[in-house]
């Protein structure tokens, strides 16, 4: 747990070193729970314990509260428009004994500043139920409980025999967070938090399908990675969980990458969850105004410098060192950055038929940057720390910037720019097709290699070429056959790519889910379905995914939960569900998404803001009603013949 923000220094960091702070509430004599789950549709975790004497259920939640209209504005005040709820700055834990009796123990041992500083406990008030732990340099945290607390050095403890039907709570609060005073209030505030999550998730449109729960959990996870005061979206909730057991590929992902964030919005859009997008665009617009070049990533408060350092006092997860915070990629040049932003804005703008005027100058700058730099080498979307290369995927993304820029310019009636950017897009397209292929007709990692790279699975997904193009088919199948371990996809072969680090890495989950989508696109549906089923079988018991999977052990590797994996899961699963609909297995999802049982005109499809399936954005499928919707949408923009009728 990191305070006061998700990118702050940890207070409980035992995952990276047993001495770096921990907080346990559970049975005294059992360490492994019988089961864990999220309460459906929420971010409340429920852990069930079986002990020799009875059963207990623990619920944990970061509380969300209705916004207090008279709330004081603080230094970390909202930069975005406040909604009805805000983070309450309280971690609430409740315990109920459901059978027999359970000896309960609470052990709270904070270690501030990534374990570098111990605090001092003292009681707050006249009883034993409230205490605060004060650190010399890092503020304080408070514990409020209906148990009786005592202190053993840096450890606050409570012991209690809980009998059937009894319940207790404890709340950890910080900043201006106000903890509940008693169990009744705790229960009520847990219910408000559940309401918040239920309200949010019910804005989405989820197909009635056996895989629905994977979609719901992925969407909630992406929402959980939102930093509401600024609109920033985090790549993952952790730092330095290793990509190789015992290895050195340990990075801090508690930042906002443009790439990760805009792909997150793409996935949420697919499910009809579009409202979070505008906050992120305002976040980026603020940053881009006054800056000549947009960075590839920012701190979640908009910080520009994210200098990497190692925390050598920490032993690392299962000994994987060094532990890194900050991220050395922050000042890299990665040429996909303009394309991901333009694609995302284009998707959201065209589905709403409205554009934000303030955003346009910022977007113009991004297209111009893509056109200025696309001929240069870069570090690529995998952020390699070896020499810059002419990465094929980066050039494709520059094409995306020009292509989406041209479409947006046309929507605005800016015919001059639309024409100029269309011609630039065609030039980049031709360059990629001339230099990015090997002699088999397979797209390669960069212009001077024959190595494969899973980022090229984006070619059909972003509409650079249609899925029935032989080069697309050859690339997708080459990756499926040659860049996999036990069918799961590597982002590249580490021995063929100088990424600046040693050692192996696991298969990249985003790439495996991209392969599901790409195989579906090229018509290899049984293979896509088998891979998707396999990937879903690797989900953690809470349906969460880390960045990577070890293909041999199934172990999740890297930071956790990782937005990349979940956003790609959403798009892969929706690809296959659409195939089911096309085969007539289930009610057409497209009809559900457009808000009724029958298709309306393309105009109503877009005007009511309903999300047309993202996969149908670029190429017509002659028999589907989606293509009617799409055909009308795209027809004014002149481009490659396969894109438009
Ligand atoms: O490959 C080395 C790089 O690995 C990390 O980057 C990866 O995570 C990013 C956040 O999800 C993602 O945007 C990127 O595409 C991934 O390759 C790490 O952040 C980099 O510092 C490191 O160089």
Residue 545 has pLDDT above 60, yes or no: yes
Least confident of 42-46, 67-71, 346-350, 435-439: 67-71
More confident residue, 120 or 501: 120
What is the atom index within ligand 1 of the atom nearest the CA of 328?
21
| Residue keyed to tokens 């001077």 | 448
The answer to whether the Cα torsion of 297, 298, 304, 306 is positive or negative is negative
Top mean pLDDT of 263-277, 433-447, 499-513 is at 433-447
What is the atom index within ligand 1 of the atom nearest the CA of 308?
21
Residue 68 has pLDDT above 90, yes or no: no
pLDDT band at 354 (very low <50, low <70, confident <90, very high): low
Q: Which of 79, 66, 26 is nearest to 49 (CA)?
A: 26
Burial of 241: CB neighbours in 10 Å, binned 0-12, 13-18, 19+ = buried
Residue 589 has pLDDT above 50, yes or no: no
* Contact assessment for residue 366 and residue 338, using Cβ atoms and an 8 Å cutoff: yes
Average pLDDT over residues 203-229: 96
Residue 201 has pLDDT above 90, yes or no: yes
* Contact assessment for residue 568 and residue 513, using Cβ atoms and an 8 Å cutoff: yes
What is the whole-number distance in angstroms between the Cα of residue 628 and the centre of ligand 1? 39
Average pLDDT over residues 585-596: 41
What is the whole-number distance in angstroms between the Cα of residue 385 and the centre of ligand 1? 10
Share of the chain above pLDDT 70, in %: 88
More confident residue, 595 or 249: 249
Query: Which pLDDT belongs to residue 586?
Result: 52
Residue 315 has pLDDT above 80, yes or no: yes
What is the whole-number distance in angstroms between the Cα of residue 361 and the centre of ligand 1? 29
What is the whole-number distance in angstroms between the Cα of residue 494 and the centre of ligand 1? 14
Distance CA(609)–CA(600), nearest Å, equals 13
* Contact assessment for residue 443 and residue 392, using Cβ atoms and an 8 Å cutoff: yes
What is the whole-number distance in angstroms between the Cα of residue 534 and the centre of ligand 1? 25
What is the whole-number distance in angstroms between the Cα of residue 327 and the centre of ligand 1? 9
Residues in contact with ligand 1 by the CB-under-6-Å rule are: 235, 251, 253, 257, 259-260, 327-329, 381-385, 499, 564
Q: How many helices (H) and strands (E) does the chain have?
A: 17, 24
Query: Which pLDDT belongs to residue 603?
Result: 27
CA distances from 480 to 163, 452, 488, 512 (A): 56, 10, 8, 9
Least confident of 13-17, 486-490, 564-568, 613-617: 613-617
ipTM: 0.94
What fold characterizes domain 212-603?
Glycosyltransferase (1.50.10)
Distance CA(391)–CA(143), nearest Å, equals 52
Query: Which pLDDT belongs to residue 599?
Result: 26
Query: Which pLDDT belongs to residue 293?
Result: 82
Q: List the residue whose alpha carbon is closest to atom 23 of ligand 1.
A: 383
Mutational test site, ligand 1, from 382, 391, 559, max ligand atoms within 8 Å of CB? 382
What is the atom index within ligand 1 of the atom nearest the CA of 385?
23
Distance CA(620)–CA(617), nearest Å, equals 8
What is the atom index within ligand 1 of the atom nearest the CA of 327?
21
Q: What is the dihedral of CA 19, 23, 26, 32, to 10 degrees?
A: -50
Distance CA(349)–CA(540), nearest Å, equals 35
CA distances from 616 to 288, 525, 578, 628 (A): 30, 16, 10, 10
Biggest distance spanned by C-alpha atoms of the chain: 79
Query: Which pLDDT belongs to residue 501?
Result: 80
What is the whole-number distance in angstroms between the Cα of residue 306 and the centre of ligand 1? 14
Q: List the residue whose alpha carbon is closest to atom 19 of ligand 1.
A: 251
DSSP state string for 117-155:
EE-EEEE-SSSSSEEEEE-SSS-EEEEEESSPPEEETTE
> Which pair of tokens denotes residue 592?
């559900």
Q: What is the mean pLDDT of the chain?
A: 89
What is the whole-number distance in angstroms between the Cα of residue 350 and the centre of ligand 1? 30
| Residue keyed to tokens 């820029």 | 405
Query: Which pLDDT belongs to residue 613?
Result: 36
Least confident of 173-177, 272-276, 362-366: 272-276
Average pLDDT over residues 172-185: 96
Q: Which of 13, 30, 29 is nearest to 21 (CA)?
A: 13
Query: Which pLDDT belongs to residue 499?
Result: 80
Distance CA(336)–CA(341), nearest Å, equals 9
> In the chain, where are the structural domains located?
22-201, 212-603
DSSP designation for 275: H
pLDDT tens-place string over residues 474-508: 999 999 999 999 999 999 998 888 888 877 788 99
Angle (nearest 5°) at CA 630 between 629 and 633: 95
What is the whole-number distance in angstroms between the Cα of residue 328 and the centre of ligand 1? 9
Residue 630 has pLDDT above 80, yes or no: no
Average pLDDT over residues 435-461: 98
Average pLDDT over residues 335-364: 86
pLDDT band at 641 (very low <50, low <70, confident <90, very high): very low
Query: Which pLDDT belongs to residue 76?
Result: 60
What is the atom index within ligand 1 of the atom nearest the CA of 297?
13
Q: List the residue whose alpha carbon is closest to atom 18 of ligand 1.
A: 251
Q: Which residues, 6+ apart, have CB-to-CB distance to 161 below 8 Å?
A: 101, 102, 103, 104
What is the whole-number distance in angstroms between the Cα of residue 249 and the centre of ligand 1? 10
What is the whole-number distance in angstroms between the Cα of residue 484 and the centre of ligand 1? 19
Distance CA(9)–CA(136), nearest Å, equals 14
Average pLDDT over residues 26-38: 97
What is the whole-number distance in angstroms between the Cα of residue 174 and the centre of ligand 1? 31
Q: List the residue whose alpha carbon is closest to atom 11 of ligand 1.
A: 235
Mutational test site, ligand 1, from 251, 509, 547, max ligand atoms within 8 Å of CB? 251
Residue 114 zone, left/alpha/beta (φ > 0; ψ -120 to 50; rest): left
What is the atom index within ligand 1 of the atom nearest the CA of 562?
11
Residue 629 has pLDDT above 80, yes or no: no
Q: List the residue whose alpha carbon is closest to atom 15 of ligand 1.
A: 382
Burial of 286: CB neighbours in 10 Å, binned 0-12, 13-18, 19+ = middle
pLDDT band at 621 (very low <50, low <70, confident <90, very high): very low
Distance CA(196)–CA(400), nearest Å, equals 36
Q: Which residues, 6+ apart, have CB-to-CB distance to 70 below 8 Å?
A: none
pLDDT band at 352 (very low <50, low <70, confident <90, very high): low
What is the atom index within ligand 1 of the atom nearest the CA of 329?
21
What is the atom index within ligand 1 of the atom nearest the CA of 243?
4
pTM of the model: 0.90
What is the whole-number distance in angstroms between the Cα of residue 581 and the centre of ligand 1? 36
Residue 259 has pLDDT above 90, yes or no: yes
Share of the chain above pLDDT 90, in %: 80
Average pLDDT over residues 123-150: 96
Distance CA(478)–CA(454), nearest Å, equals 10
What is the atom index within ligand 1 of the atom nearest the CA of 255?
10
Q: Which residues, 6+ apart, have CB-to-CB distance to 23 below 8 Å?
A: 1, 12, 107, 108, 109, 110, 172
Residue 637 has pLDDT above 70, yes or no: no
Mutational test site, ligand 1, from 222, 264, 336, 383, max ligand atoms within 8 Å of CB? 383
Residue 575 has pLDDT above 60, yes or no: yes
């Amino acid at each position: 747990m990191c305070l006061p923000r998700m990118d702050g220094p940890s207070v409980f960091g035992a995952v990276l070193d047993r001495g770096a702070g921990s907080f346990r509430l559970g049975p005294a004599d059992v360490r492994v729970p019988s089961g864990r789950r999220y309460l459906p549709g929420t971010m409340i975790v429920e852990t069930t314990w079986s002990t020799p004497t009875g059963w207990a259920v623990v619920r944990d939640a970061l509380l969300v509260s209705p916004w207090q209209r008279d709330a004081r504005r603080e230094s970390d005040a909202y930069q975005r428009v406040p909604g009805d709820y805000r983070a309450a700055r309280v971690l609430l834990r409740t315990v109920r004994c459901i059978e027999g009796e359970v000896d309960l123990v609470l052990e709270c041992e904070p270690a501030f500043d990534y374990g570098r500083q111990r605090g001092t406990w003292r009681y707050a008030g006249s009883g034993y139920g409230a205490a605060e732990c004060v650190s010399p340099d890092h503020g304080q945290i408070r514990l409020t409980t209906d148990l009786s607390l005592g202190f053993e050095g840096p450890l606050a403890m409570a012991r209690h025999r809980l009998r059937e039907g009894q319940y207790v709570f404890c709340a950890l609060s910080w900043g201006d967070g106000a903890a509940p005073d008693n169990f009744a209030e705790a229960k009520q505030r847990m219910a408000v938090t559940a309401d918040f999550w239920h309200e949010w998730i019910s804005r989405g449109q989820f197909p009635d399908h056996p895989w629905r729960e994977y979609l719901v959990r992925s969407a909630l996870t992406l929402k959980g990675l939102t930093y509401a005061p600024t609109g920033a979206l985090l790549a993952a909730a952790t730092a330095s969980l290793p990509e190789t057991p015992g290895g050195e590929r340990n990075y801090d992902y508690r930042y906002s990458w443009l790439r990760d964030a805009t792909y997150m919005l793409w996935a949420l859009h697919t499910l009809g969850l579009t409202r979070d997008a505008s906050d992120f665009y305002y976040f980026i617009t603020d940053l881009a105004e006054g800056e000549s070049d947009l960075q590839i990533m920012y701190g979640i408060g908009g910080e520009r410098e994210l200098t990497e350092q190692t925390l050598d006092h920490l032993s690392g997860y299962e000994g994987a060192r060094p532990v890194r915070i900050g991220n050395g990629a922050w000042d890299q040049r990665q040429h996909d950055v303009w394309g991901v932003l333009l694609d995302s804005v284009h998707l959201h703008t065209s589905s709403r038929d409205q554009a934000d005027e303030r955003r346009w100058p910022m977007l113009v700058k991004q297209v111009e940057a893509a056109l200025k730099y696309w001929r240069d080498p870069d570090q690529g979307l995998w952020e390699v720390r070896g020499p810059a290369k002419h990465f094929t995927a980066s050039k494709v993304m520059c094409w995306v910037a020009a292509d989406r820029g041209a479409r947006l310019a046309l929507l605005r009636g800016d015919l001059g720019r639309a024409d100029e950017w269309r011609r630039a897009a065609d030039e980049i397209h031709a360059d990629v097709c001339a230099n990015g292929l090997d002699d088999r007709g397979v797209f390669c990692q960069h212009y001077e290699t024959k190595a494969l790279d899973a980022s090229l699975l984006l070619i059909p997904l972003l509409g650079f070429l249609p899925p029935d193009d032989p080069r697309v088919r050859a690339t997708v199948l080459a990756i499926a056959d040659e860049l996999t371990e036990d069918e799961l996809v590597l982002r590249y072969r580490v021995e063929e790519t100088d990424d600046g680090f040693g050692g192996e890495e696991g298969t990249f989950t985003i790439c495996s889910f991209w392969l599901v989508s790409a195989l579906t696109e090229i018509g290899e549906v049984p293979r896509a379905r088998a891979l998707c089923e396999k990937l879903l079988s690797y989900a953690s018991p809470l349906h969460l995914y880390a960045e990577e999977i070890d293909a041999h052990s199934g172990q999740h590797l890297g930071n956790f939960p990782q937005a990349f994996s979940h956003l790609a899961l959403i798009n892969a699963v929706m690809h296959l569900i659409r195939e089911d609909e096309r085969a007539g297995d289930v009610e057409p999802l497209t009809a559900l998404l457009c808000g009724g049982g029958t298709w309306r005109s393309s105009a109503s499809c877009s005007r009511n803001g309903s999300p047309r399936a993202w996969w149908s954005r670029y190429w017509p499928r002659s028999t589907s009603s989606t293509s009617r919707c799409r055909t009308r949408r795209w027809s004014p923009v002149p481009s490659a013949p396969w894109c438009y009728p």
